[in-house]
A = this chain, B = another copy of it.
């Protein structure tokens, strides 16, 4: 392996001079600097990452925590995060919070192995978040936010999205509306539910408790919950789902019972993941601009790393209803 000693020999300078060039010191003449840089190139010298991190106090790496990488929402988010970090010359260390690895994010903050953290999955009880904020480390919350926490946050307007879904279903004439909830620790699930419930109440179509089922943003739980709803003596004529993965599970639950979507039951999702548009599902859903949100969050985090004294910023993106085949027909009822 080529060392800074080899570079010094090749350039005919001391090793201390090579170090000064690497540190960008002003105590090196332009000629010497040029000679050292060309010796580095000639020798194929790449400064050690750990040595540079010690010198610059920067790891050159961002930590990203996702809730469940097998939920197709997160890979879409990660693709945009990865592209934006690549453009900024930053690496991405990833934690998948469903696994035993979330404790790793906490350790990485403590040790300075990452310069900042992007949490896409935050809950009230998130220990890594709590510690990162106590230490005034650069943190941006993406997708899921926390109302009472003063840190950078990039979210979509999930309350407005829930309202859109409620108005759409009531205006289409649905009387028996079902709801498949998300995990009650996620702000996205809570806000979507709040907007949905409030608007149904306002329009005089309050949710019947027996048509509401708990959920965990997983396909299998949603599929089972949908089968329960459809097996009732009076099944719902439309079901709103707290995210698209839940809605895909709901459609599959209907198919498994021979119940037709949308002829027998409408299904509405939330997120507009790529798969929602695929013909087999053709899911009506509330879109959030996943890629734009991810890019904004990365840029905010990089700014925050440069300047920790910036005031906390919040960006909220609008929600939009996208109508597809899973609701396009007029229901029989």
Binding site for B on A (CB under 8 A): 1, 46-54, 59-61, 69-70, 72, 74-76, 78-79, 82-83, 85-87, 89, 91-96, 98-101, 104, 107-108, 110-113, 135, 219, 248, 251-253, 255-256, 274, 278-281
Contacts of A83 in B (CB 8 A): 96, 99-101
Please state the number of chain copies in the assembly.
2
Residue pair A86, B69 in contact (C-beta under 8 Å)? no
Residue pair A53, B61 in contact (C-beta under 8 Å)? no
Residue pair B74, A111 in contact (C-beta under 8 Å)? no
Residue pair B70, A91 in contact (C-beta under 8 Å)? no
Given A50-B54, A53-B50, A101-B83: A219 and B278 interface contact (C-beta under 8 Å)? yes
Partner of A279 from B59, B91, B256 at Cβ < 8 Å? B256
Contacts of A1 in B (CB 8 A): 135
Instruction: For the complex, give the distance between the alpha carbons of A48 and B107 in Å.
Output: 10
Shortest C-beta distance, A128 to chain B (Å), equals: 13
Instruction: For the complex, give the distance between the alpha carbons of A116 and B255 in Å.
Output: 45
CB-defined A-B contacts under 8 Å, sample of 8: A46-B111, A50-B112, A50-B113, A75-B75, A79-B99, A85-B101, A91-B104, A92-B93
Q: Please provide the 6 A-B residue pairs with the shortest distance between their CB atoms, ordered closest to farther.
A: A86-B101, A50-B53, A49-B113, A49-B111, A252-B279, A46-B110
Contacts of A98 in B (CB 8 A): 79
Contacts of A53 in B (CB 8 A): 49-50, 53
Partner of A96 from B82, B104, B248, B251 at Cβ < 8 Å? B82
Residue pair B101, A82 in contact (C-beta under 8 Å)? yes
Shortest C-beta distance, A318 to chain B (Å), equals: 24
Contacts of A113 in B (CB 8 A): 49-50, 60-61, 91
Partner of A49 from B72, B112, B219 at Cβ < 8 Å? B112
Among residues of B, the one whose C-beta sits closest to the C-beta of A111 is B49
Contacts of A86 in B (CB 8 A): 99-101, 104
Given A53-B49, A74-B75, A251-B280: A94 and B82 interface contact (C-beta under 8 Å)? yes
Among residues of B, the one whose C-beta sits closest to the C-beta of A83 is B99
